[in-house]
Structures are given as C-alpha cells and as structure tokens.
Amino acid sequence: METVTAYLGLGANLGERRGNLERAADLLFRSPSTPVSNLQLLRSSSVYETAPWGYANQPDFLNCVLELETGLTSDQLLDITQGVEREMGREWSLRYRPRVIDVDILFYGAIIIEQANLQIPHPRLHQRAFVLAPLAELAPELTHPVLGLTVREIMAEVDGKSGVKLWGPPLDLPHPDGPALQA
C-alpha cells in the first residue's frame, strides 16, 4: 500500500481548548474505521493562540498542525476528520463562528483535489497565518503544489502574523501500543 504524508490543521475556541485539540488527535488515531496501519500520527506542531479569522466577535483559538502518514484515500481521510468533528459536537450552521473543534486537511502529499466537498490544498491556507505558523514549524520547505511557493515563503507574505502567538508545547500524540509519542 502506498502512503502519503498529509497535514491536518486543528483549531478550537470553545470549552477546554487544548483538551479539545488533544481529544481530536486521539479520536483521529483511534477511530474504529481507521486501521492503525492506515493512519500514523507523526508529529504535532506547538500550540498557538490566534485571533479569530472571518468573524472577530468570539474567543481566541488554539491551533496546531498534525503531520501524519496515511494509506487512506483523501475521501477516507475526510470522512474520518468529519467524523471526529461530529463526535465532538461541531456544528456547521454558521461559517467562521466559535467551535469546539475544526479539523481541516491542509495537504495530502503533493496532490491537488478539486471536488465539491473537498479541496486540497486547503483553498484558504495561503491567507491564514494561524495555519501557516504551526505548519511552518513542521514543514517550512513544503511546496504548495498550486502556488509553487514553500510554506516559509507564503508565511513571510501573509497578513495577520501579529495575531498568532506561541501558546504551548506540541500535543502528546496517541500511540496504539502504549504511551504517547513525544513530538
């Protein structure tokens, strides 16, 4: 089975924000529909506190990026990420509003996907410092397959960097055979 490296952006601004990020990471890995061999969480970025984007009248977010290796198709990965959001009580009724968790597929290898329900790379990634800062921590030389720029280059040009502050250490990632892996 061929595997790809993918990056997921996680964000939360309701409830116990860091706990929500950790629970989402755990649920991604332990989903009953995800055989362990098909999804391996490799690293977590540090956690960043970020000003809201799109709708300012809400609490600040905690955000991080997870690097994973997967043999899942992009559609299967989307099903799992949306399942985690549903299980944690995410509501999709209002765009850019407060949320318990948000899990976005940022990159899926160097593959470009344009479907009604899924666009990869994430279509607004290049506009969002709150995603680019943690992504740059993990993969600064990763090249955006549409823009032809590295994450570092995109981060240098993005607006909103002043609203992104290092908040805490990387998440403790779940491991199927025992204790958490340290990032």
Q: What is the pLDDT of residue 75?
A: 93
18 is catalytic: no
Say whether 90 is catalytic: yes
Q: Is residue 182 part of a domain?
A: no
Q: How far apart are CA 164 and CA 39, in angstroms?
A: 29
| Catalytic-role residue among 30, 90, 128, 159 | 90
Note down the domain range covering 31. Answer: 4-174
Note the pTM of the prediction, 2 decimals: 0.90
Query: Strand 113-114 to strand 119-120: parallel, antiparallel, or no bridges (unpaired)?
Result: antiparallel
The stretches of the chain forming alpha helices (DSSP H) are 17-30, 74-87, 129-138, 151-157
Q: Is 25 helix (H, G, I), strand (E, B) or coil?
A: helix
Residue matched to tokens 């040009």: 157
Residue 36 lies in a domain: yes
Q: Among residues 17, 23, 43, 104, which one is catalytic? A: 104
Residue 45 backbone zone (phi > 0: left; psi -120 to 50: alpha; other: beta): beta
Distances from the Cα of 31 to the Cα of 80, 116, 174, angstroms? 7, 25, 12
Q: In sequence order, what are the residues at sequence separation of 6 or more whose Cβ sits closer than 8 angstroms to the Cβ of residue 137?
A: 45, 46, 65
Give the pLDDT band of residue 95 (cuts 50, 70, 90): low
Q: Between vectors from CA 88 to CA 54 and to CA 121, what angle results, nearest 5°?
A: 50
**Residue 33: inside a domain:** yes
Asked if residue 131 has pLDDT above 90, the reply is: yes
- Structural domain contains residue 103: yes
**Segment 30-56, tens digit of pLDDT:** 765 555 558 888 999 999 999 887 777
Beta strands in 22-169 (DSSP E): 39-44, 47-50, 61-70, 102-108, 113-114, 119-120, 164-168
Q: Judge contact between 121 and 24, C-beta under 8 A.
A: no
Residue 102 a catalytic site member: yes
Cβ atoms within 10 Å, residue 91: 11
Which domain CATH number covers 76?
3.30.70.560
Domain count within the chain: 1
- Given 17, 43, 99, 128, which residue is catalytic? 99
Q: Looking at 102, 128, 152, 159, which residue is catalytic? A: 102
**Residue 123 domain-assigned?**
yes
pLDDT category of residue 179 using cuts at 50, 70 and 90: very low
Of 40, 124, 43, 34, the residue nearest 83 (C-alpha): 34
* Residue 100 resides in a domain: yes
C-alpha–C-alpha distance, residues 48 and 142, integer Å: 20
Band of the pLDDT at 97, cuts 50, 70, 90? confident
Within-domain flag for 59: yes
Looking at the domain assignment, is residue 181 inside a domain? no
